[in-house]
Amino acid sequence: MGNDLIREGRLRRGMTQTELARLIGTTQSAVARLESGRTSPSFDDVIRILRAMDLDLDFALVPRDEQDWAQAAALLELNPAERHERLVAWNRRVAEMKAQFDVPAL
């Protein structure tokens, strides 16, 4: 995950791997290894690299929402024909809402 954060941060800043390497005092190949997942940076290194790009990582602890799991469990109890009918009905409702709000069909 740290690899993806570093790559995303670099891209958001519009930097090349070479520019990031110069900024953090390493080589372009080291940055490439980080971003590709061939090396795994520590959490502290991820924070340090993001901060060098004037970015910060923001975490929030939120109550766990089990709604998705409950919906998935309910769908698993349906047979394939019932799942198909449910999907057809959902698509019909979406088409009706699009028509109501004049949203062009895809």
Cα-atom radius of gyration of the chain, to the nearest Å?
A: 23
Write out the two tokens for 41.
């940076």
Residue ranges per structural domain of the chain: 2-52, 67-100
Q: What is the pLDDT of residue 45?
A: 94
Model-level pTM? 0.58
CA 76 to chain centre: 26
pLDDT tens string, the chain, 106 residues long: the values are 899 999 999 999 999 999 999 999 999 999 999 999 999 999 999 999 999 999 999 888 878 778 888 888 888 899 999 999 999 999 999 988 888 887 666 6
> Which is nearest to 68 in space by CA: 78, 58, 76?
76
Q: What is the pLDDT of residue 84?
A: 93
Q: Kindly give the residue spans of alpha helices, DSSP state H, lying in the chain.
A: 2-12, 17-24, 28-36, 43-52, 67-76, 80-100
Tell me, which fold does domain 2-52 have in CATH? 434 Repressor (Amino-terminal Domain) (1.10.260)
